[in-house]
Structure 1
Amino acid sequence: MKAIFLHILLLFSISFTFGQENYPKREFRGVWVATLNAIDWPFSEKDSAEQQRRDFISLLNFHQKRGANALIVQVRSSADVIYPSNIEPWALSISGQQGMPPKPFYDPLKFMIEEAHKRGMEFHAWVNPFRAVTNTQYVKVCNDHISKTHPEWMLKYHNLKILNPGIPEVHQYVNSVIEELISNYNIDALHFDDYFYPYPDHGEIKGDRATWRKYRTDNESIRDWRRSNINTFIEGVHQLILDKRPSLKFGVSPYGVWRNEREDYDGSPTRSGYTSYDHLYADVRLWLQNGWIDYVAPQLYQSTKHKNIPFKKLLDWWGENTFGKHLYAGHAVYRVDRSLERGWQDKTEMPDQLYAARDNQAVEGSILYNSTAVWNNQGGIGDTLKTFYKYPALLPTMPWIDGTVPLPPQSPTIKEMPIGVTLKWEIPEKAEDGDIPTTFVIYSADKGVLPDINDPRQILKILKNGETSFVDQRTSYIETYTYLISSLDRFQNESEAVLPIYPKDQNVILPDPLNEDIIVEVNQAVLKSTWELVNSIIDNQGITMSKDLK
């Protein structure tokens, strides 16, 4: 502890009104980026490596300006990948020919992750675990593709081929692909979509009956057996993550309806022709209940006016069935102004969905499908996001993975400079879990007011990648604003906020109502200590503070 000159500004006018309630400080703001058939990226399968890099940076910058803080990028769409692998071939979208690397050579996934992290955005690696060939009539697979090296593992359905989830060796194979991915790349999450068993668009799947008879347990029905296969797979991936990278998030984006209430007492008030449980054999509710996944992002792709699957009722059902894990609403931006469904012709449909998700206490954020629809401002969505995501947001925390709070910035100082008010600090020591924060949040409030760190409107800047200084060019006078600085670890756990101190040689005149300089001894100007100090000064000066502030 050391004696320092600290001049406290004490004009309190904290307000808990519209902005704080409607602009949450923490919110997941994701965008799906599909690479299959170059839907979202690359912009063309014929693009050079340099063009791919330029376009991805443009895509990142575009979404960042519209408030996104996470990208969910498809890295394995059809048993082929967008990174160098010892197990699977290069994806068709990277070079225009499956099995061929980009030219000139580079590692797209490594590049993407680094660029996303530079901007403080999470990178979720989207994997299709079982899909092998999307269309056997048109897709030309390379010789080392799994459909050729292990044709006995293929389950054929119409023009689709999938890896048969009922074969134990298939689970081992897919797990080896996932292990390679999570071991070699600094991704923030592993993400699966809704493709497990195929959608029954062409009748009941029949090609796995021999496998069922071989591997079923006792008198297990083929439907229960299929569900058991997917349950076993998801539990196995969960355990793999715990063994190899316990800090990695694991999320799934299933078809929006788990089960209808007419089939199951626990089901949703919907009348969907498909359900995740009965037709894709994905018991997502069980996965949440057992803690096998960390978040669910159901594809709520019908409008609020849909007769059988209304958006809001289904969203409410998911909110009641998260079992303590995160829920992100999946929005069908690509259907705005395109779908024949009447509700999607309404210009207010997507804003209504976004606000409904934000107003639901159980929902931690939204993910938009797809990047191209947002890029093209389809239905005005890009303009909507500028307002909806007007203020920055930190990502929601997952305390069951990491709930340890980092240490606050060390030795924070504030100084007047001709170029603006300069804030500096040092990176703190490791926290109890060994994390060293490399992201810092600067809060700012008008003269005489301590910033409210729960109000995202008062976030002045989020500094990434270990930056330890900031110049507020709005003013060159210390008295204009009051600042607080906090640390964030990788899981967005936030430290106590600290008040930067004035150097001893800086003379600052304290404004009314104190009318005198106050010399105070504090410990690193931690916010908790500052509030204790403020209360003491208020009592000594005879100032009355409202009960709300107390």
Structure 2
Amino acid sequence: MQLYKYYRVLTTLLLLLFTSPLWAQYAYPKREFRGVWVATLDNIDWPSKQGLSADEQKKEFISLLDFHKLNGMNAVIVQVRSEGDALYPSKYTPWSKSLSGKQGVSPTPYYNPLRFMISEAHKRGMEFHAWINPFRALSNYVNEDPAYNHITRSHPEWIITYGDLKIINPGIPAARRHIIKVIKELLMDYDIDALHIDDYFYPYPIKGASLSDYSTYKTYRGAYSNIADWRRHNINEFIKDVHEVIVKNKPMVKFGVSPFGVWRNQKESKAGSPTNSAYTCYDHLYADTRLWLQKGWIDYIAPQAYQNTSHKRIPYQPLIEWWAKNTFGKHLYVGHATYRVGNKYEDGWDSNKEIPTQVRINRSNKAHGSIMYNSSSLLMNRQHVTDSIRNNLFYVPALPPRMPWIDNVPPNKPYNVQVSQTTKGVVLTWQAPIRASDGDTPSYYVIYSTKSRKPDINNPLDILAVIPASQRYYFDTEARSTNSFYYAITSLDRLFNESIPVIPDNKKNKNSAVITSGR
């Protein structure tokens, strides 16, 4: 009997600990970006193969979203332009061959894949980041048959051949302006949450190959006496122009870049990271990523920290600690190499502890989130990496971090919230609020629910669901009566600013108030 008494006391203390807001915020932050890259080049992730029917493509993408929603993801980063092509109808670029099997041919029967994908992501409360490769024209030109309107045919004078690649020459102003037009079309025609650019600016070095842009340099160098500085200037101008076109046309759209993980080593710059990488963004890809954060041209950086925690030249933890100190107030979403997990030929990756360790390093350094490369690697679940993400790391839901420099005005709260008993369980209904002072209406609603206490909107353990604003009801099939749970509901705008909560006036929590301090 005495032993049982101590057991009851211990379990009660553990329950209080694991459901306390303090513990929840330490182990599971309420605000955390959780994304996954979905590559379409060569059908790496989606569609599974070329030539699938439209219905088969849709079915696969819905399955992919549902899978990652169960994994705790709140965003997908989908490659919509991989090599001078598009997963949507465009005035400037041909259809991607990843869909039909032939570049320039639309899916059959016809549909707009991008519009479909955005809609399905938003239905699940997930952000859609449109990932583009701005300068890559062909990834392997020897085996390609470009469409008649592909950039390599319409403007061959803009193209550089480098190894197996054909790239759009970043040093030609007219070529950069063309890409800006492609981006503007994407912004204006689609309800994307963010524009995302990866690490392909100037190409990665190939031993024995030279970049044949010296004649372009002589034509456009201006005051630059050093070709490396001129190349960096070209990419800086491009990033600045992208930032400006977003701010001018769709200021609520986020802009993020996912570069190679190392900006510069300390041996090249006192401001660099304590790494010893063979090449760097600044010196070899001509991408001054740190400057873009300093200038406020990008809203988030997602460095590809694809080396593990025991890597000798680019150890994970010192690199993340450096990035956390060099974001200049913008967001840091760390890129993880889940595709390397289980690789017995790379030291440090044959462990089921590597990715959990990395995510915890991110959190201890107050990084704003993680992005997993890639979708297929999570489906494979090597070393149970997906199990770790789903059942531990991302087990508790999280909202994407706020970006107050874009929008700092919360939406108004929903009103006329009602709780009713049905044969399927308890249903919550409500009405949409009026527009906020900045004109925003909700994009999503958050339902909070607890059984033994009042909901605390600071505690992610209390989040029951995030649902699209088009849905103004929620069935709680776990509740047997209106007295079973406490509830609260808030509005979210598209930048995930959150309203003050409303608590339904059901019998159990009538006239109660949820905890709101410190949100």
> What TM-score, normalized to structure 1?
0.87
**Which residue identity lines up with residue 440 of structure 1 in the other structure?**
Y
1:138 aligned partner = 143
The 5 A counterparts of 1:183-262 are: 183-203=188-208, 205-262=210-267
For the 8 Å contact 2:217–2:230, the answer to whether it is kept is yes
Please say if residues 162 and 209 of structure 2, whose CA atoms lie closer than 8 Å, have aligned partners that are also in contact.
no
**Contact 1:269 / 1:313 at 8 angstroms: preserved in 2?**
yes
Write out per-residue CA displacement over residues 235-275 of structure 1, whole angstroms, 9 at most, x where no aligned residue: 00100111111111000000000000010000000000010
In the TM superposition, 1:406-417 aligns within 5 A as 406-417=411-422
| Cα pair 2:352 2:385 within 8 Å, conserved | no
Match of 1:432 among 434, 437, 442: 437
Aligned residue for 2:322? 317
Identify the residue that residue 476 of structure 2 maps to in structure 1: 472
Relative contact order: is structure 1 or structure 2 higher (C-alpha 8 Å, sep ≥ 6)?
1
Contact 1:306/1:341 (8 A) holds in 2: no
Q: How far apart are 1:57 and its partner, in Å?
A: 0.9
CA contact (8 A) 1:131 1:195 kept: yes
Larger deviation, residues 200-209 vs 295-304: 200-209
CA separation in 2, counterparts of 1:509 and 1:172?
Answer: 61
Aligned-partner Cα distance in 2 for 1:357–1:228? 31
- Say whether 1:91 aligns with 2:96: yes
Choose from 261, 269, 278 the match for 1:273: 278
Deviates more, 1:468-477 or 1:207-216: 468-477
Q: Which residue of 2 aligns with 1:368?
A: 372
2:440 is equivalent to residue 445 of structure 1: no
Aligned residue number for residue 535 of structure 1: none
Could you tell me how far apart the structure 2 residues matched to 1:164 and 1:17 are? 52
Contact preservation (8 Å) 2:409, 2:497: yes
User: What one-letter code is carried by the residue in structure 1 that aligns with 2:388?
Assistant: T
1:219–1:55 CA distance, 2 compared to 1 (3 A): closer
Change in Cα spacing, 1:204 to 1:217, as seen in structure 2 (3 Å) is farther
Query: What's 1:513 paired with?
Result: none
**Is the Cα contact below 8 Å between 1:25 and 1:456 reproduced in 2?**
yes
Q: Is the 2:124–2:467 contact (alpha carbons within 8 Å) kept by the matching residues of 1?
A: no
Alignment CA distance shift 1:212-1:61 (3 Å): same
Q: How does 1:3-22 map to 2 (within 5 A)?
A: 15-22=20-27
Residue 494, structure 1, aligned to residue 498, structure 2: yes
Contact 2:135–2:170 (Cα < 8 Å) also in 1: yes
Q: Which amino acid aligns with 2:220?
A: Y
Letter in structure 2 aligned against 1:354? V
Q: Residue 427 of structure 1 contacts residue 466 of structure 1 at CA under 8 Å; is this kept in 2? A: no
Counterpart in the other structure of 1:538? none
CA RMSD after TM alignment = 2.0
Q: Among all aligned residue pairs of Structure 1 and Structure 2, give the percentage whose two residues are the same amino acid.
A: 50
Deviation at 1:102, TM superposition (A): 1.1
Cα deviation for residue 417 of structure 1 reads 4.8
Distance change in 2, residues 1:337/1:161 (3 Å): same
Name the CA distance, whole Å, in 1 between partners of 2:496 and 2:128. 14
Q: Which residue of the partner structure matches residue 302 of structure 1?
A: 307
Quote the residue 2:52 is aligned against: 47
Within 5 Å, give how 1:156-195 maps onto structure 2.
Answer: 156-195=161-200
Larger mean CA deviation between 381-390 and 76-85 belongs to: 381-390
Aligned residue for 1:72? 77
Alignment gaps of 5+ in structure 1: 1-12, 503-507, 511-517, 532-548
TM superposition shift of 1:316: 0.8
Comparing 35-44 and 104-113, the one that deviates more: 104-113
Give 1:203 deviation, angstroms.
4.0
Secondary structure class of the residue paired with 2:332: strand
Cα deviation per residue 1:180-227 (whole Å; 9 max; x = unaligned)?
Answer: 111111111000000000111224633000111111123520000000
Q: State how far apart, in whole Å, the 1-side matches of 2:198 and 2:140 are.
A: 18
Contact 2:457–2:514 (8 Å) recurs in 1? no
Q: Secondary structure at the match of 2:141?
A: coil
One-letter amino acid of the counterpart of residue 64, structure 1:
K
Are the counterparts in 1 of residues 454 and 514 from structure 2 also a CA contact under 8 Å?
A: no
Q: Which aligned segments of 4 or more residues in structure 1 are displaced greater than 6 angstroms? A: none
The code of the aligned residue for 1:459 comes to I
Structure 2 CA distance for partners of 1:309 and 1:425, relative to 1, 3 Å:
same
Q: SS state of the match for residue 287, structure 1?
A: helix
Amino acid at match of 2:346: E
Residue matched to 1:4? none
> Aligned AA for 1:259?
R
- 1:52, distance to aligned residue in structure 2 (A): 0.9
- Cα distance in 2 for partners of 1:178, 1:374 equals 30
Which residue of the partner structure matches residue 461 of structure 1? Answer: 465
Residues 91-143 of structure 1 show CA distances to partners (whole Å, capped at 9, x for unaligned) of: 11111111111111111111111111111111111000000011122122122
1:493-548 deviation line (CA, Å, top 9, x unaligned) = 1000112124xxxxx589xxxxxxx9x7xxxx8758x99xxxxxxxxxxxxxxxxx
Asked if the contact 1:80–1:88 (Cα under 8 Å) also holds between the matched residues in 2, the reply is yes
Q: Is 460-469 or 207-216 further displaced after alignment?
A: 460-469
C-alpha separation in 2, matches of 1:91 and 1:427 = 39
Q: How far apart, CA to CA, are the structure 1 residues paired with 2:439 and 2:60?
A: 36
What is the rounded CA distance, in whole Å, between the counterparts of 2:224 and 2:473 in structure 1? Answer: 67
**Structure 1 residue identity aligned to 2:347:** R
Between the aligned partners of 1:81 and 1:480, the Cα distance in structure 2 is 50
Deviations 1:472-497 (A, max 9, x none): 33334444322221111111110001
Distance 1:215 1:414, change over 3 A: same
Quick check: 2:95–2:104 contact (8 Å CA) kept in 1? yes
CA distance in 2, matches of 1:497, 1:75: 37
Distance, in Å, in 2 between the alignment partners of 1:42 and 1:416 is 42
Q: Does 1:378 align with 2:378?
A: no
**After superposition, what is the alpha-carbon deviation per residue over 1:397-417, rounded to whole angstroms, capped at 9, x for unaligned?**
111111111111112233455
Contact 1:49 1:106 in 2 (8 A): yes
